[in-house]
Each structure stands twice: as C-alpha cells, then as structure tokens.
Amino acid sequence: MTTPTRLHELTALEQAAAVRKGEVSPLDLVRHHLARVEQYDGDFGAFLTGTPEAALSEAAALPARQPADRSALFGVPTAVKDLVDTAGIPTTYGSKAFAGHVPDVDAHSVTRLRAAGTISLGKSNTPEFGCCCYTDNDLVGPARNPWDPALSAGGSSGGAAVAVALGLVPVAHASDGGGSIRIPASICGLVGIKPSRGRVSSGPFGAEVTGLAVQGPLARSVRDAAALLDVLAGPEPGDPHWAPPLPAGESFLGHAGRAPGRLRIGRYATPAADGITVDPACLDAWEQASQLLESLGHTVEDIPTPFGPEISAHFVTAWGVQSLGRPLEAERETLLRPVTRAWREYGRGVSGEQFAAAVTAMHSAARRAIRATQQYDAVLTPTLATLPQSVEFFDESGDPLVNLYRQSAFSAFTSPYNMTGQPAVSLPLHWTEGDRIPVGVQLVGRPADEATLIALSAQVEEASPWRDRYARLLTDPAVDVRRTRD
C-alpha cells in the first residue's frame, strides 16, 4: 500500500479501491487532500471557496452508507466548478456581483456527485460567468499553470484543472461552452472530456439558450474521467436535450477497458476561423498522435476542415446573447470586469431576428460538418492552436477587443464541437522540450458516442502513458513557484 503521505499520487479509482479494502478511510483522504490544498492553493489559485468543515463532516458520515450506495468513486475527494449551484455554499460564478450569493438548491450534477459518495473540498476557480478561455477574476485572482506558474492555467475550468494536476483532488467537475474543459486540460496536461449535448443535466437552473455548454470531468487518467462521467451522466425530467443512454449493464468506465477495434480516423489541423496560425508545437503533437494511432492499427486520413469561417460570427452572436443569462441591476453591473461587460453590451445589441438567424446557422453548419465526417469513427485535431500564454497576456485594463482577439487561438478547434454537440476529449500526449509544458490533442467522437471515444482514448493512454510525467508536480510544485516569482 502506498504510504498516507503519497495518497495524492494515487488515481481516483485507486483511492476508491483503497477505501473499499479498508486500507484508508474517506476521512483520511479528505484530511490528506485538504492539507495539500492549504499548502499549494495560495500559490496556484485552484479554489474560489474552500469547504473543509463540510468535507470533513461528509467524509466522517460516509462509512455508514450501505454497499449498494457505493459508486466506483465512493469516498474520493473532488471539487465543483463555481459556475454550478451548491446549496448552502457561496456560489459566485467568478463575479464580485455575486460575492454574497448562497443558493438553497443543488444543481443536479452536485446531487449526483453527493449520491455517488464523492466529497467536494470546495468551489473551483473560474472566470466571471465562465466567459473566458483563461481563469482570472476580482475575487481571488488567476489560476496559474502548475507546470509554469507564470503562465495561465486556461479556462474557464482553470481552477478545476489546477486542482487535479497538483493532486489537490484526483478528479474534478468542470464545464465546457466553447472549450472550457479541453483548453485547461491541454494546458495543464490532463484528460478532459466534453460530453455530448444532453449527456449531463444542467438543471434545475442551467441556461440552455444556445445548447453550447455541457458539464463533464477533468482527470489525470482516462479511466478516472470515465468513472466521473458515469457519476454525472443521465437526464433529469424537463431537460431540453437528452443523449441516448448506454445499453443496460454498460458503463463508460467499462468501455475504458474495452478494445476499440480498428477505427477510421479523419484528421485536420487548419482552423475554420481566418487569421489563426497553429503553433509548431501543437502541430508536432498532432503529427505524433497520428503516428501513434496508425501504430495501433487505425487508419488515419487527412480531411478538409469540416467547418467554414462563417461559424465564428455565429458563435460570437450566440455567446454574446448567452452572456446575458444572469440578469443584474445597473449598480451590480458596474462590478463586472471589462471583458464581461463588453460581451453583455454586445449581446444587448443583438436583435431577436439576428440571434435566431445565428442559432439556425449554427445548426446548419453542425449538420454539414457531421455529414462531412460521418464515415469516420473519430476526428483528430490539435486541442489548441497556441501554447499557454502568460497570466498578464490576458490583462483586461486595455481594449476588450484586443483581449477577445487574443483568446481566439485557444478555442479555434474546440468551440465548433460545442456547436455540433459531439463528444470530444483532450489527451496529454505531448510535452514541449524537457517535459516543460504539456500540449494536448483533441479526439472528437460520433454524435452521442462517448463509448468509442473513451475506448480509443484508453488504448492511446496505455500505448503512450503520461502518469510518470506528474512526478515533479506531485512532489513539490511550490519550488517552481518560488523560482518563477524570484
């Protein structure tokens, strides 16, 4: 058995197995991870709100649960993104305008996490309303890249990604409306799954005005991510979108242990949006992933980019209107950050006719792209068109349009698949020289086919494992913080 001082090096499933065997208790796991949060969170910005007392209380009560109530992640610490309501816990949506907001009802995803016996250590850091591809706000400041704290951790699930990469929790809840799971997964070296539209309920109060956003897992392994998706997945009454469930007796974790068979995979590396140059390191990652897939017996074929440049304008229109989903009186509106205000001002200028036309055009583009790739079992792209940038790169003191333009290279390959609703995963298959910075690659599955995507991702991880790369982060990441700041 791994000694208690190294519990954070275990995967989520290994931690749960240790609980089942009686080698460690949920309370031991929570205490260990809370100590790690106290040691590192101040330097890296993983959490907006910590809930140590609630976590300790929940962990102490878990052993009384009946065996039938115990999921594959029973007893495992996690974190909930602060865009999702948690009853009795401050939920700020990353905004000073909601600094005192305490919901009285859990989001359905939070209910499922509790029912599965996972224990939240707090609300993870996110940009205001989740509107940016970096994580920074006026409440606790930025989430910093665990591999180089001078760099951004990405967003909008940046806090969740930092927490998982540093071993503050083994898995974390996240959400993705344009790449917000996959962007920080690539930047922080994690597995991030954006599930199919309708796979995870956003109820009871989640916005569905565009159908872009979905909740999903961040983890250090495919199996852990699949296990958390099993916990989160499933519709609730009244949901506007339902993804078809797996056949009875099957699970996403089970598919992580199945061979995917020989697949036909299309690949492209030219963004749909004009004016974006893909960084050579991102292309290297994509090329190496292509070679790995071929070595595993899959057929990999070059395909044209299945989207046209017009989708950028459609997405911007939809995103601007969606940014208005949290109504505010004028006094609280002044508390918002410049980029958030810019999005909302733009959204107010969109007419109903323009919004309806943009959503209709998005649906048409999605249908064309799915038809164009329907002969493929998966599609391979870079996750990002750029490497991580400094925290200061996304400064909001200047022209918001400059900031928004700088974000475009981060979502060029991710946001189209929020439009189609297809499942997509970012895998940490590549690092820059000297294992300095991770560079993810994206695999996109057929509509509602997370099963094949997870089976393929698990096969890839087994062939080219990345677990050992975390040794430095899970030992003493603060050494790097001190060196960077000095």
What tens digit of pLDDT does each residue of 279-337 get? Answer: 999 999 999 999 999 999 999 999 999 999 999 999 999 999 999 999 999 999 999 99
* CA 62 – CA 465 distance, rounded (Å): 33
User: Mean pLDDT score of the chain, rounded to an integer?
Assistant: 95
With cut-offs at 50, 70 and 90, classify the pLDDT of residue 5: low
Rounded to 5°, angle at Cα 74 from 235 and 164:
85
Does the pLDDT of residue 419 top 70, yes or no?
A: yes
The average pLDDT across 140-165 equals: 97
Active site residue 71: no
- Given the residues 95, 156, 175, 323, the one annotated as active site: 156
Please tell me whether the overall predicted TM-score, pTM, comes out greater than 0.95 for this model.
yes
Which residues in 82-114 are b (16+ Cβ under 10 Å) and which e?
bbbbbeebbbbbbbbbbeeeebeebbbbbbbbb
Active site residue 196: no
What are the CA-CA distances from residue 347 to residues 320, 342, 354, 368, 482 (Å)?
A: 4, 9, 11, 27, 42
- Given the residues 124, 157, 180, 196, the one annotated as active site: 180
User: 4-485 sits in which CATH class?
Assistant: alpha beta
The average pLDDT across 108-136 equals: 98
Helix, strand, coil % over all residues of the chain, rounded to 5: 45, 15, 45
Backbone angles phi, psi at 213, to 5 degrees: -90, 145
List pLDDT tens digits, range 64-117.
988 777 899 999 999 999 999 999 999 999 999 999 999 999 999 999 999 999
Nearest alpha carbon to residue 262 among 235, 290, 236, 295: 295
* CA 437 – CA 85 distance, rounded (Å): 33
Does the pLDDT of residue 379 top 90, yes or no?
A: yes
Active site residue 81: yes
Does the pLDDT of residue 456 top 50, yes or no?
A: yes
The average pLDDT across 131-158 equals: 97
Identify whether the C-beta of residue 29 lies closer than 8 Å to the C-beta of residue 191.
Answer: no
Does the pLDDT of residue 474 top 90, yes or no?
A: no
Nearest alpha carbon to residue 438 among 193, 185, 268, 221: 185
With cut-offs at 50, 70 and 90, classify the pLDDT of residue 471: confident
pLDDT value, residue 472: 78
Nearest alpha carbon to residue 286 among 300, 299, 273: 300
Alpha carbons within 13 angstroms on the beta-carbon side of residue 201 total 20
- Given the residues 71, 81, 109, 408, the one annotated as active site: 81
What are the CA-CA distances from residue 369 to residues 152, 382, 423 (Å)?
A: 31, 17, 14
What tokens appear for 370 in the block?
A: 């799915």
pLDDT value, residue 2: 44
Does the pLDDT of residue 202 top 80, yes or no?
A: yes
Identify whether the C-beta of residue 452 lies closer than 8 Å to the C-beta of residue 377.
Answer: yes
Task: Give the chain's length.
Answer: 486
pLDDT value, residue 435: 81
The average pLDDT across 376-393 equals: 98
